Amino acid sequence: MIIKWNGEYVGHTGFNVAADDYDGEPRFKSFWFDAGPKTRHPDREAVAAFLVFNSTMGGLVHMPHKFSPAVDTAMRSISNPVPVVFSPVEYYPKALPSGSRPLELSWTGIEATPKDDTAGVDTTYLRLERSDQAAGSLRTLRGLTVSSNAWLHSDGREGCVSSIRPYLAAAVLFAEDLDADSIRVPGDFDQDSREWKDLVYLLGTARLGLEVARS
């Protein structure tokens, strides 16, 4: 599988994939936003691509940019359903972004994050709107609302960790822009499950925490 990043800061901006001989066929070959992140650290870019397309990865997967051995190890250890080799790996160490506040993640069908005048200043938010119901983006002092086709990549299994992976991928991509150091996801998930622990491990290699938002 070859994964590329297409687009700039506005318009359909995000990942495009081309499946290879050993890959499954993704239902949708693009994962995009109506406004892209201003900064994309290669490690977080690789983690996000993995979250979206891992279920159809097989054989060799080529990411858009070089990423760290730590991310490579994490992705290989939790690859599903078959072992995968990732490239290109960068063995020269690079600093990871360091945020300072939690990111409240929500999407169409999930209650939106608090408005600026009611929320504390110690959090930020990312709100993903369905691309068939909204267009464009709105940035405020506290966060970002943006239209995306992330909803098409969700498996729709309510209550399952797998259903939030594309939304989580978006949060990983925008975390640096939003000065976030952890991501809060809505839902009631088993935090002792193997799948949840795998996500915590994977995001940790990109210096991001993961927690369930309080109701």
- Give a yes or no: residue 150 inside a domain: yes
Question: For residues 157 and 51, what is the distance between their CA atoms, to the nearest angstrom?
Answer: 15
> DSSP H helical segments within 21-143, as ranges?
42-53, 69-78
Structural domain includes residue 95: no
Q: Say whether both 151 and 204 belong to one domain.
A: yes
My answer on whether 54 and 117 are in the same domain is no
Q: Report the alpha-carbon distance of residue 171 to residue 176 in Å, rounded.
A: 9
| Residue 96 counted as domain residue | no
Q: Residue 81 has what pLDDT? A: 65
CB 105 within 8 A of CB 167: yes
Domain co-membership, 117 together with 201: yes
Task: Check whether the bond before 97 is cis (ω within 30° of 0).
Answer: no
Residue 208 shares a structural domain with residue 126: yes
- 145 and 68, same domain (yes or no): no
**In the numeric block, which tokens belong to residue 132?**
């068939």
**Domain of residue 150, CATH code:** 3.40.50
Instruction: Using the 3D structure, point to which of 60, 89, 118 is the last residue of a domain.
Output: 89
Q: Is the pLDDT of residue 120 over 70?
A: no
Q: Which residues make Cβ contacts (< 8 Å) with residue 23, sequence separation at least 6?
A: 1, 56, 57, 58, 59
Q: Same structural domain for residues 54 and 141? A: no
Residue 200, SS3 per DSSP: helix
User: What is the domain range of residue 35?
Assistant: 2-89
Of 212, 177, 174, 192, nearest in space to 47 by CA = 174
Burial class (CB in 10 A: 0-12, 13-18, 19+), 209: middle
User: 6 and 13 in contact (C-beta within 8 Å)?
Assistant: yes
Q: Would you mind telling me the total number of residues written for the chain in this entry?
A: 215
End-of-domain residue from the set 36, 63, 89: 89
103-135 residues labelled b (16+ CB within 10 A) or e (exposed)? bbbbbbebeebeeeeeeeeebbbbbbbebeebe
* Same domain (yes/no): 119, 190: yes
Residue 207 falls inside a structural domain: yes
Q: What does the longest C-alpha to C-alpha distance in the chain come to?
A: 52
Decide if 94 is inside a domain. Answer: no
Are 52 and 115 in a shared domain? Answer: no
Q: What is the pLDDT of residues 151-167, one digit of tens each?
A: 999 987 877 898 999 99
Residues 8 and 40 placed together within one structural domain of the fold: yes
The domain boundary, picked from 55, 89, 123, lies at 89
Residue 127 and residue 30 share a domain? no
Q: Is position 83 within any domain? A: yes
Q: Average of pLDDT values for 127-140?
A: 94
Give tens-digit pLDDT for 184-206.
999 888 899 999 999 999 999 99
- The count of structural domains within the chain is 2
My answer on whether 108 and 204 are in the same domain is yes
Q: Are residues 140 and 193 in the same domain?
A: yes
- Tens digits of per-residue pLDDT, 13-40? 999 999 888 878 888 999 999 999 999 9
Confidence of residue 148 (pLDDT cuts 50, 70, 90): very high
